[in-house]
């Protein structure tokens, strides 16, 4: 196939990743509704959100192994079909246990886009393009998160939350058709898969892998925790409407549409992805403190400016994924990405519940944001120990 076909692959991966983030964040603006209607605590609402991450995290390593063995296209088709089922079940749920179970199925279905996508990028793009391409792929997540935070509460106010949430299944069905029609493997599934036993243990047994695992665990855990509770913070503390709260929170994800590709481009140009990452992590610590101590005194405009700045400053979060793939042969790309992504979402699985508990005990969202800042500081510390790829 001609070289330009790699951009078709990237476009389909981006569209798929949009759906992942729509469903990752679509529940966040609905938290005030669930707390009021079901009479649950914020910790319980955090558990509904993190149920997505339970299954998402648990299957990352198996998905990496399956992708290297059977190919990205097949894995994506199977799991995104499960996402459709989970979406409809969540929209139809009428109890707390049913909501938890449906969110867990949504997380399972969303789990097989990033890892297969990174495998396709490793197959189709040369090393010198991977930083910017990974950034563009990630930007799909920014688009999806923004759409979820803006459109879901807006539609919920007009249609009710059930129909609004159920409508998110339609673009997933479109993406499934595009994957089936357009995605092809550059290498035959299984042909380049690691046939020697112990491929997973080779990855886990590499000491340089663990600083990557730990830094993304705390970095993304802190980031997703903030996004989970910012809409409720804006509604309860700053008295925004649900649509306004979703809009301001979405400015963070909208900023990443720019900052993730930009961080990848800068890391490619400078050959210094670690520096880009450490800058981003420093910014992540600071913005948590700003949301905790300064934003409570702001009106809509001030909160919106802080949200925009946050999104524009945290783009370096994606660079560890580029660096870690370069540490291993291409035939391990799926396995490596699965391992680091499991670490990433272990944080997303636990930390929103912890932040919700802080809110329940203290009655203070700012206190929870300070905890998130401490989590981001841990990510910065472990980030100082990651290995940077050498310039060619």
Give tens-digit pLDDT for 194-233: 444 567 788 888 888 899 999 999 998 899 888 888 988 9
Question: Rounded to an integer, what distance in angstroms lies between the CA atom of residue 223 and that of residue 314?
Answer: 9
**Three-state DSSP state, 93:** coil
Question: Rounded to an integer, what distance in angstroms lies between the CA atom of residue 265 and that of residue 285?
Answer: 23
Q: Using 50, 70 and 90 to split pLDDT, how confident is the model at 9?
A: very high
The larger pLDDT score, comparing residue 152 to residue 42, is at: 152
Q: CA angle, corner 84, sides to 165 and 252, nearest 5?
A: 50
- CA-based nearest residue to 202, from 70, 335, 330, 324: 335
Judged by average pLDDT, the poorest of 139-143, 196-200, 341-345 is: 196-200
For residue 155, pLDDT over 70 is answered with yes
Query: What residue ranges define each of the domains in the chain, with the CATH number in brackets?
Result: 5-183+196-383 (1.20.1250.20)
Task: Render pLDDT for 240-249 as a digit per residue (tens, 0 to 9).
Answer: 987 788 889 8
The H or E element containing residue 51 is helix 42-58
| Contact criterion met (CB below 8 Å) for 275 and 363 | no
Q: What is the mean pLDDT of the chain?
A: 86
**What single string gives the DSSP state of each residue in 177-222?**
HHHHHH---SS-TTTSS--STTHHHHHHT-TTHHHHHHHHHHHHHH
| Predicted model pTM | 0.75
């Amino acid at each position: 196939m001609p070289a330009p076909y790699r951009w078709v692959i990237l476009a389909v991966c981006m569209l798929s990743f949009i759906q992942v983030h729509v469903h990752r964040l679509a529940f966040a603006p609905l938290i005030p509704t669930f707390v009021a209607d079901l009479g649950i605590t914020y910790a319980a609402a955090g558990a509904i959100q993190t149920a997505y991450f339970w299954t998402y995290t648990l299957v990352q390593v198996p998905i990496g192994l399956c992708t290297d063995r059977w190919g990205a296209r097949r894995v994506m088709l199977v799991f995104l079909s499960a996402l459709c089922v989970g979406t409809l079940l969540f929209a139809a749920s009428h109890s707390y246990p049913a909501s938890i179970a449906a969110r867990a199925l949504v997380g399972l279905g969303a789990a097989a886009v990033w890892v297969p996508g990174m495998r396709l990028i490793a197959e189709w793009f040369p090393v010198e393009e991977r930083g910017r391409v990974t950034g563009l792929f990630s930007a799909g997540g920014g688009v999806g998160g923004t759409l979820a935070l803006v459109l879901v509460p807006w539609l919920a106010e007009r249609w009710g939350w059930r129909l609004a949430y159920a409508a998110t299944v339609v673009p997933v069905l479109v993406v499934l058709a595009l994957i089936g029609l357009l995605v092809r493997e550059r290498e035959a599934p299984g042909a380049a898969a690691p046939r020697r036993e112990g491929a997973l243990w080779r990855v886990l047994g590499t000491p340089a892998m663990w600083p990557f695992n730990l830094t993304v665990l705390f970095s993304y855990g802190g980031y997703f925790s903030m996004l989970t509770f910012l809409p409720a913070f804006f509604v309860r503390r700053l008295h925004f409407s649900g649509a306004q709260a979703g809009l301001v929170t979405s400015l963070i994800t909208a900023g990443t549409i720019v900052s993730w590709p930009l961080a990848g481009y800068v890391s490619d140009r400078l050959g210094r992805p670690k520096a880009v990452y450490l800058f981003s992590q420093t910014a992540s610590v600071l913005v948590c403190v700003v949301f905790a101590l300064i934003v409570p005194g702001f009106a809509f405009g001030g909160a919106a400016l802080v949200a925009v700045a946050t999104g524009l400053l945290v783009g370096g979060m994606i660079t560890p994924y580029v660096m870690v793939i370069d540490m291993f042969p291409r035939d391990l790309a799926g396995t490596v990405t699965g391992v680091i992504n499991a670490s990433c979402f272990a944080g997303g699985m636990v930390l929103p519940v912890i932040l919700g508990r802080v809110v329940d005990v203290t009655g203070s969202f700012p206190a929870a944001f300070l905890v998130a800042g401490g989590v981001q500081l841990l990510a910065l510390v472990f980030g100082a120990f990651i290995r940077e790829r050498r310039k060619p």
